[in-house]
Amino acid sequence: MDYLTEDLWEMILARLPLKSIITTPKLVCKIWKSIVESPCFRDLFKSLHKNLYSSSWSLMCRGCETEVMSHYGSDNWNLKRSLSSYISSFLTNKFGNYNEARVVAYTDVGLILIHRVSNQSFFVANPVSRQCFEILPLASQKEACFWILGLVTKTENGVVLGYKVVLLKPNFTFLIYSSETGLWSVNNAEFTFTYISQEFNNPISLNGSLHWLAHGPDYQDFIVSVDFYALSDGCRATPFPDLDKVPKFGRTCTTSQEFLMYMNIVSVTKADGSLEDKLCVWRLENWEWQLVSEFSLGFVQTGFEYIPLGINPFDAKTVYFWRRQCLLSINLHNGDFMLHDKLERSSDGRVMSSVSCPRDMEYILESHFASFVLPQWLHPFPNT
């Protein structure tokens, strides 16, 4: 080891899978630890693995540890099992009693938010690297009721610089923990729009903001968005793009390629005045919905018994639907349909798995889904 220069060690270590880098070099010697934590090594690793366009990811039921589908293997992490298994083993090793703690939020940067019921504390963790930080509650939190809105992150070039845990009290004030200060703060939630109800239990975390569904008068659904790194901008309400139509499925959003996405099947008027059912996918850009795909589905005419799960986080043209014991993917590039087995392996080593018929399937069919995505580089936890 003493005969190799530091730049040669960089070239050797950068060819390891990311999971090996985070579990081995730091334990060997201080030189290796210094190498793998440097920005130059990160850039070298990314350049050597640039052909791996995606990372491991799963579609999870929000508010629990139930995994509906997963992709892993043959990427920067080279995982041999799905993300939910890492989450389960992490919870067991960390808390012992499975009912002691539960996952309440997922992100697209590899972090999850865990709530421990016994003392109302929170944990921000990466279940694969086992990095974990405990957030103790305020004394007033232990007796108070609140909604857990989620975890938002501040990133730059794929590196997490900070995070915030966001709660909402019944008097509509935000209780926010910031990793930058290590403190909880209180901010008023000013909802300047008219609404009948808001779904605080299913927010989506994206680019420092939380987004959730709200219902207005006359069945006018819209998305509420709050940027918790720019709270002075207030809450923004964005109506759904298909309010003049009757969608086949209940409205809900997902994420792909760092955008908020919405998909549904709606009736579109053809040139001859007749109606045609189409799968439409919109992307929220500059606070306006942009139609990115409009796809005719021939089998809709005979009954479409699937429910929408989500969109591939790395490819907005690949969407997923679910029916009992059957996962369906649709490629909006070429119109290909594919029914998937419970476990599939591709020639490049990628693995895709899906649930078959778990005992809580009825719960899954009524759930909202969240993408849990590992980053393409493991950043150190932000210091408090």
Q: pLDDT tens across 281-340, in order? A: 999 999 999 999 988 876 544 556 778 888 999 889 899 988 767 788 888 888 788 888
Residue 226, token pair as written in the block: 């709050």
SS3 266: strand
**Degrees, nearest 5: CA angle 14-19-20:** 60
Long-range contacts of 162-166 (CB under 8 A, 24+ apart): 162/382, 163/111, 163/124, 163/382, 164/228, 164/229, 165/113, 165/122, 165/124, 165/135, 166/210, 166/228
- How many DSSP H helices and E strands does the chain contain? 7, 26
Q: Widest CA span of the chain, in angstroms?
A: 78
Structure tokens at 335: 């119109």
CB 264 within 8 A of CB 250: no
- Residues 139-152: b if buried by 16+ CB within 10 A, e if exposed: eebeeeebbbbbbb
pLDDT number for residue 42: 75
> How many residues in total does the chain contain?
384
Which long-range CB contacts under 8 A does 185-188 form with residues at least 24 apart? 187/231
Q: Under the phi-then-psi rule, with left for phi > 0, alpha for psi from -120 to 50, and beta for the rest, what region is 15?
A: alpha
CA 280 to each of CA 119, 240, 264, 319: distance values in angstroms, whole numbers, following the listed order: 45, 12, 6, 11
Low-confidence ranges of the chain (pLDDT < 50): 300-301, 357-359
In the three-class reduction of DSSP (H, G, I as helix; E, B as strand; rest coil), residue 43 is classed as helix
Q: State the Cα–Cα distance between residues 204 and 156, nearest whole angstrom.
A: 19
H/E stretch holding 328: strand 326-331
Instruction: Give the pLDDT score at 300.
Output: 47
Q: Which amino acid is present at 96?
A: G
DSSP H helices, the chain, are: 6-13, 18-23, 25-28, 30-36, 39-48, 83-95, 361-365
Q: Where are the beta strands (DSSP E) in 324-365?
A: 326-331, 336-340, 343-345, 351-354
What pLDDT does residue 348 have? 62
Residue with tokens 């081995």: 24
Burial 156-165 (b: 16+ CB within 10 A, else e): eeebbebbbb
Rounded Cα gap, residues 347 and 64, in angstroms: 32
CA–CA gap between residue 384 and residue 15 (Å, rounded): 32
Residue 219 phi/psi, 5-degree rounding, is 60, 30
Task: Kindly state the helix (H) or strand (E) to which residue 374 belongs, with its residue range.
Answer: none
